[in-house]
Amino acid sequence: MSQHVTPQSPTPSESPTRASSATSPSSVTLAEQLTKASRRDLWDVYSYFAWPDALPEDTWCMSPELCSIYGTEAWTALSETQQRRLSLYEIGNFFSLTLQGERPLVAGMSDLLYSSKLAASQTEYLHHFMDEENKHMVMFGTFCRRYLGKVYPEKKISLPREYAKGEEDMAFFCKVMVVEELGDYYNVVMMRDKRLHSLVQEINFVHHRDESRHLGFGRQFTTELWQKWSPTWSPEVLARFQAWLAAYIKSSWADFYNPTMYKDAGVGDGYALRQMALASPITREHREKASRKLVNYFLRTGMLASQPEL
């Protein structure tokens, strides 16, 4: 058991940092508010959790409905014991994806510190943002190494390219939003799921609590960047960015279907399971539901031209 009881946190839509753009303060004012909240919720990653030596073999570690092959014939063919074992590797893959997504986030944020692009209050909040993201990486890394023996490596490959003015910053903050919005959907479901081991619930709660602030800031700051730079782009650059963003969201979902995860869980041919799951209308419905808030934001702002194929 971790030493804290997971409270009922507000849902993303109820969180005070998630107001609509029509009523949101500027990112400068918002940063001041979020700094106060981060100081209020300050925590120590090294003492917050009580890590058991092992997790019970019969425990759920990810909500069954969030497991990547849930609802498919491959899932129903598994015994409940196998499903529970797979859930351990599913949560390990999810935590690894989140950790690997936060590494470049921290690097990119550190490049912004004390730059002319940020006001003083924004810089001050980024220190809290980076501190919390570092704690998250320690938290996820500890779980994965202790209970899986490893962190799953990152699979994405970045190729060098030329950017229009402001496009690289926009791409960076959109990547941040994709990682954090999709992750938060999972966090909210799992922190409330009493079928899960209490440690897993607690980790998801802590991550959601911090990320609700990060998401509020990121959404507002990204909107302001978009309003600043996109009107200066040619139609060709705009279309290129929109196509890239749609492809990035799709590729991010592909990482949830990790062949090594299936192999480690001993549930069958990892690559065959991945192909089956990516093609399944059942799993596509899940991806669309989990992405709805994120995609609607991108569509509303014009960062996406149309609904992406997920």
Q: What digits encode the pLDDT tens for the residues 95-112?
A: 999 999 888 878 877 777
173: in domain? yes
In sequence order, the β-bridge partners of residue 183 are none
> What is the per-residue pLDDT for 12?
33
38: in domain? no
Provide φ and ψ at 196, rounded to 5°: -85, 155
Across residues 190-207, what is the average pLDDT?
Answer: 97
Q: Number of structural domains, the chain? A: 1
Say whether pLDDT at 77 is over 50.
yes
C-beta of residue 214 within 8 angstroms of C-beta of residue 177 = no
Task: Find, among 214, 230, 236, 256, the residue nearest to 95 by Cα.
Answer: 256
> What is the per-residue pLDDT for 150?
97
Task: Give the C-alpha separation, 241 to 235, whole Å.
Answer: 10
CATH number at residue 179: 1.10.620.20
> Quick one: pLDDT band at residue 19, thresholds 50, 70, 90?
very low
- Residues spanned by the domain of 245: 79-154+167-301
134: in domain? yes
Three-state SS at 41: coil
> What is the per-residue pLDDT for 196?
98
57: in domain? no
Q: Where do runs of H (alpha helix) occur along 113-166?
A: 120-147
Q: What is the CA radius of gyration of the chain?
A: 19
Q: ∠ at Cα 232 (227, 236), nearest 5°?
A: 110
Task: Give the C-alpha separation, 36 to 109, whole Å.
Answer: 19
Across residues 225-249, what is the average pLDDT?
Answer: 96
CB neighbours of 279 closer than 8 A, spacing ≥ 6? Answer: none
CB neighbours of 143 closer than 8 A, spacing ≥ 6? Answer: 91, 92, 95, 199, 203
6: in domain? no
Across residues 171-180, what is the average pLDDT?
Answer: 92
> What is the per-residue pLDDT for 260?
97
Tokens of 268: 């069958």
88: in domain? yes
CB neighbours of 25 closer than 8 A, spacing ≥ 6? Answer: 33, 220
183: in domain? yes
55: in domain? no
Among the residue ranges 13-17, 57-61, 132-136, 245-249, the one predicted with the least confidence is 13-17
In the chain, the percentage of residues whose pLDDT exceeds 70 is 90
Across residues 205-211, what is the average pLDDT?
Answer: 93
CB-based burial, 101-126: b 16+ in 10 Å, e otherwise: bbebbbebbeeeeeeeebeebbebbb
Give Cα 285 distance to the centre of its chain: 19
